[in-house]
Amino acid sequence: MNKKTLVISISLVFFIFFFFFVFSQKNIIPQTSVDVLEKDSILNFGMIDITQNKEYEVSFHVKNRTWAPLIIEKIIPSCECIKVKCNSKYALKNDMVEISVIYKPEKIKSGEFYREVEVYGNFASPIYLSVRGEIQDKQ
């Protein structure tokens, strides 16, 4: 076997190995970059009257800045008093995902509160969205 044939054979074996290694990985998802469009990632509900017994809702908008599709993998609220709605788990370049945070005040607590929602997806680090306010008992 001459030198040229040997180099071609080794290159071909390397290419085949690389091809199978890359495409055998099922969890390869391109990473994207996102912006939270709200000026502040902490939204304030202000003063909440606990006697009204209602839910309070705010929305955050997350924009995909890159060519790779944005994929929201999971959203974790910090407590049971928070519910989360997401209008889509995917967004293409320059599209947005709306994440609504719904707060139901706890009956026994009054005073200031701060709650967080962690958003995980194909971006470098989790996004932390926060809500705060003050519960006032007008009884």
Return mean pLDDT, the chain.
Answer: 81
Confidence of residue 108 (pLDDT cuts 50, 70, 90): low
Domain boundaries, the chain: 34-136
Strands 127-136 and 42-49 come out as parallel
Name the 3-class secondary structure at 21: helix
**In sequence order, what are the residues at sequence separation of 6 or more whose Cβ sits closer than 8 angstroms to the Cβ of residue 104?**
55, 56, 81, 82, 83
44, pLDDT greater than 90: no
Query: Residue 99's pLDDT is what?
Result: 94
Per the CB < 8 A criterion, the answer to whether 92 and 64 are in contact is: yes
10, pLDDT greater than 60: yes
pTM for this one?
A: 0.71
Query: Residue 40's pLDDT is what?
Result: 67
Confidence of residue 98 (pLDDT cuts 50, 70, 90): very high
Query: Residue 17's pLDDT is what?
Result: 59
Q: Classify domain 34-136 by CATH number.
A: 2.60.40.10
Per the CB < 8 A criterion, the answer to whether 129 and 121 are in contact is: no
Q: List phi, psi (to 5°) of 66.
A: -120, 175
27, pLDDT greater than 70: no
Find where tokens 């947005």 sit: 96
Query: Residue 39's pLDDT is what?
Result: 67
3-state secondary structure 41-87: CEEEEEEEEHHHCCCEEEEEEEEECCCCCEEEEEEEECCCCEEEEEC
